[in-house]
Structure 1
Amino acid sequence: MPATTAVLCGLGASLPQQAVSNSRLIADNRLDSDDQWILQRTGIASRHMADARTSTGDLATAAGRAALDSAAELAGTRIHPDIVLLATTTPDHRCPATAPEVAHRLGHTGTPALDLSAACAGFVYALTVARALITAGHCTHPLVIGAETYTTTLIDPHDRDTAILFGDGAGAALLRPGTPTEPGALQAADLGSDGARAAYAQVPAGGSRTPLGAPGTHPGDHHLRMNGRAVYTQAVRRMTSSALTALEKTGWTTHDVEAFISHQANQRIIDAVADRLHIPAARRHGNLRELGNTAAASIPLALADAATRRAAHPGQRTLLTGFGAGLAWGSHTLLFPEARPRTLPPHPHDDKATP
């Protein structure tokens, strides 16, 4: 039977070793806050933070390898990806892209690889691209990775508005051709953007419009600046609308959703979206409390976590939705995958491909 969609057949995760509690973050960064204030305002109790030796590429490579290991366990044979899609806003270098180096380190030099930047919605965008490539016959086993190191690249550690929110990590999924009735099968997607509101979440300097050190720039302009109230309003509105559109395309109602996995931005945002979709608390899955906001990595990390804890089961009707800077948002429906996730620690870059 010909493939009509893409199926998630492997899941992987990678986190920096260092877990930082709210209390430690406050003490280390001399923030005017306290543990309970952060927990009540955001739902975050701790986050994993990369050290100076750990890059986005390190995390992405480990998560990608873990997803390939997961797929091999399920299939009984090693599967080689024929394209690597890396969703990230924090690449190892401004140029070149990080994905080719990740592919090389995974032992797949020569495999096409590219970075995709849609901020916190990046993984949903990348899934949609991977599904389109499979159904068009351009590839059979895309490896989709979301990886970020916001805490070492974009976040001002002394800015309470952002420092309390973000953590680092990577999640990955290997896909294969399949049919819409299989566990892991992607169903329908909805994507959107609104560049008129780009300033709501933006790094003011460092790009070609405003290079670092250009006249008029200020110290700290290379850090992420957010209008929290505006981001909250837009995130709730856009994710809710996008989710409803994806459900309509699939032929599902909100009552059909058995597993809801949102971008792990802020517990108030997650709950507001889920409440508007009438999704019961028991069907909402995430790990924001332990990991914080890991941007493009948050959805695959939450997906892997739900599978590891068996909080969701293969074949359950699942809704993913994300929102990020750009503004960019997206949703995808799928049947919850059968894959058993693997988790690997990041390893420093050693310039050697490994099988």
Structure 2
Amino acid sequence: MHQTNCMTMNYYYPKKPNIALQFRQVNTKTNSNTMHVQNSVLLDHISDAVIFTDMDLRIVYINKKAEQVFGIRSKDVAGSPFMEVIQYEYINDSPEAALQILQQTGSWQGKVVFTRKDKQQFHLLSTVTFARDEKNRPVGLIATLKDITAEEITNEAVRKNKLEQQKVINQLMIKTQENERNELGRELHDNINQILAAVKLQLEYSLENYDEEKNTIERCKENIEEVIREIRNLSHRLVLPRFAETSLQTEIQKTIDNILQQQPVYLDTHGLNETLIPDNIKETLYRIIQEQLTNIIRHAKAPKAIIKLHNTNASVVLCIEDNGIGFNPSQSRNGVGITNILNRVETYNGSVRIISAPGKGCRLEVSIPLKNEE
């Protein structure tokens, strides 16, 4: 004959205080800490999933809603370890953090995502508390899970819509900036450059007639020639190449040639097939290269830099690496140069990775998808 000790306890459902779930804890010499659920029918009529486990996290009871959500039957999983039967993704906290909060405060609440065997996905708001006996001793865990799938889908749709709107705004801003740059570049080349060229001709004529002013006029001529060169370089940087008439590789090499005296740069285009890259993405890559080379010249103090550019049918990958002084990316992320690069890449659903540390140089990795390109 086995000695049996019985203890009855009530757990009151937090959202419906008039509903009580009664458990009987039966301790015997052969079967210790066995939990029997009474009046569980009450919880089968509420809209939330409810799961009760013992302190070893073995399932004691699940209601009808939990059976529906998780695609299981209470009688099949009773006594099974909870973590083996139900595995979901924690959104707010890790499982370890959730357990720590539960132990410290007596309850935990957070969002989880569960994918059923039929691939249907549920977003759930989970609340976990201790079930206690009449002496306030914890004897198990109660988890209530509210189905918030429809709400989360709506929120995700709103988020995606806002993201798409921001991309359109970024595209318009970039287009406006490019138009302004092109106009400024044309003004510099067509107007100011022509005036300086005319002054240069006048000075050349004066050199033939005014020997006493020759040194002064010679210096003026040299200064004007320098201004013309600077304006030509500035115009080249401001005005986008017409990639319908020239190649991206050619224009990148021109940019490198213009700065070689300031910054040694090596170009590697092994694996590049420009016919697969739309002109607007070529423009984006060209501007990113200009922006990053400017950053390297101004800040990196790098003995050399390397540009690698290649693509497949699916994506184009740009890598710009230098062996300069480096920096902390988290502290420099709000800089104008990096912000411009991020905005340009995000417009085309691309990704940016910046790898750097003080004294370790910098590596900029950009990937832009080529499929579904609008």
| TM value normalised by structure 1 | 0.25
Between structures 1 and 2, the one with greater strand share: 2
Between structures 1 and 2, the one with greater helix share: 2
Structure showing greater radius of gyration is 2
Greater relative contact order structure (CA < 8 Å, 6+ sep): 1
| TM value normalised by structure 2 | 0.24
